[in-house]
Amino acid sequence: LFSLKPKKSLGQNFILSNEITKRIVALAGSLKDFNVIEIGPGYGALTREILAYNPKFLLSIEKDSSLVKHHEQLLNEHQGKYRIIEADALNVVEKELVECPVKVIANLPYNISVALFLKWLNNIKFFTNLTLMFQKEVAERITAEPNSKDYGSLSVLSQLLCDIKKEFDIEPKEFFPRPKVYSSVITVKPLPTPRFAVNLETLTKITRAVFAQRRKMLRNSLQSITSDVSTILENAKLSGDERPESLTIEQFCLLANNVIMR
């Protein structure tokens, strides 16, 4: 295991504990009739556990070519049920590689985890569920409630589209190399329809703009993206004195539905 050096540039941290891989895969539920996607399989600790659950098919996506060859034995043992491709997960179009129904189970590389999750949110109906490991700080941003320091654009978009639950934390000592931070596993269940009707692109622009100035009142932070702020606030039943972290997801959607972007 330690003969190869994990690449910091790829955000690699490999799980050492079989107990943890078992807990992660169990959270995804039955895999029997599902195609599964894994990102950054590394040396295959999580991969082996997924295959033990007998999925219909498993596709692993690994950017590091030196790790892909470590999967030859697994490929031989699970011919026709397992495939690994060398690719950047951010550039992959999942629906071109696997058919629904699809579950994702992954220890996400730290450096692309948020970008990858946002990419999946844009096509969330493709997935049945996602069981994902993030840095603890990112998991807390995804699951944060209004009026908390971690609440932001990522919280609003994630919870608009999905039921999300933080399941458990993992100590740094459970990884090689040992990261400086804790990790957390979350489960993501896409909703049949978003909680509120809204244009996602507009909502994204608004939440990013106001949370970039989170100490400012809404009437000030909205000026950077729209004109006629007072009418928009009135239509959204807001005074303008609010700060972004105090708004519910419904209030953000109401705001987005009344905004005409600059």
* Token pair listed for 253: 């959607």
Give the Cα separation of 209 and 186 in Å (integer): 26
Is 1 within a domain?
no
Tell me if 40 is assigned to a ligand binding site.
Answer: yes
* Reported confidence tier of residue 3, pLDDT bands at 50, 70, 90: low
Q: Say yes or no: 79 and 175 in one domain.
A: yes
Percent of the chain with pLDDT over 70: 95
Which of these three, 190, 209, 236, is where a domain ends? 190
Summarize the confidence of residues 20-49 as an average pLDDT.
Answer: 97
164 in a labelled binding site: no
Q: What is the pLDDT of residue 9?
A: 46
Quick check: is 125 in a domain?
A: yes
Cβ–Cβ under 8 Å, residues 83 and 50 = no
- Which residue pairs from 219-228 have beta carbons closer than 8 angstroms and sit at least 24 positions apart in sequence? 222/259, 225/259, 225/261, 225/262, 226/259, 226/260, 226/261, 226/262, 227/260, 227/262, 228/260
Residue 248 domain-assigned? yes
For range 3-17, the mean pLDDT? 63
Same domain as 23, residue 57: yes
Q: Is 241 annotated as a binding residue?
A: no
Q: Are residues 186 and 214 in the same domain?
A: no
- The domain total for the chain is 2
Reported confidence tier of residue 227, pLDDT bands at 50, 70, 90: confident
Is 29 a known ligand-binding residue? no
- Pair (217, 160) in one structural domain: no
Predicted local distance difference test score (pLDDT) of residue 261? 67
* CATH number of 208's domain: 1.10.8.100
- Mark whether 132 and 231 lie in a shared domain: no
Dmax of the chain from CA atoms?
65
Alpha-carbon distance of 53 to 29, in angstroms, equals: 9
Band of pLDDT at residue 12, cut at 50, 70 and 90: low
pLDDT at 260 over 80: no
Q: Given 190, 222, 243, which residue is the final one in a domain?
A: 190
224 plus 101 within the same structural domain: no
Residue 91 covered by a domain: yes
Q: What is the mean pLDDT of residues 186-209?
A: 97
Residue 254 inside a domain? The answer is yes
Q: Examine the domain organization and report whether 146 and 43 are in the same domain.
A: yes
Q: Could you report the per-residue pLDDT of 149-162, keeping only the tens digit for each? A: 999 999 999 999 99
Q: Which tens digit of pLDDT belongs to each residue from 77-119?
A: 999 999 999 999 999 999 999 999 999 999 999 999 999 999 9
Amino acid at 240: G
If asked whether residues 140 and 247 sit together in one domain, one would say no
What Å distances lie between residue 226 and 82, 152, 174, 258, CA to CA? 49, 20, 47, 10
Report if residue 195 sits inside a domain.
Answer: no
The annotation status of 15 as a binding-site residue, yes or no, is: yes
Q: Chain-wide mean pLDDT for the chain?
A: 94
Residues 214, 183 share a domain = no
**What are the distances in angstroms from CA 87 to CA 41, 67, 78, 91, 116?**
12, 12, 21, 8, 13
On the question of pLDDT at 8 being above 60, the answer is no
Q: Ramachandran region of residue 95, left (φ > 0), alpha (ψ -120 to 50) or beta?
A: alpha
Q: How many Å apart are CA 238 and CA 247, to the nearest integer?
A: 9
Q: Which domain holds residue 249?
A: 200-258
Output phi, psi for 184, to 5 deg.
Answer: -140, 145
Same domain membership, residue 144 and residue 234: no
Q: What pTM, to 2 d.p., does this model score?
A: 0.93
Was 13 annotated as part of a binding site? Answer: yes
Are 93 and 148 in the same domain? yes
Q: Is the pLDDT of residue 262 over 90?
A: no
Q: Residue 158 is part of a domain; what is its CATH number?
A: 3.40.50.150
Residue at which a domain ends, from 190, 224, 241 = 190
- Same domain for 126 and 227, yes or no, is no
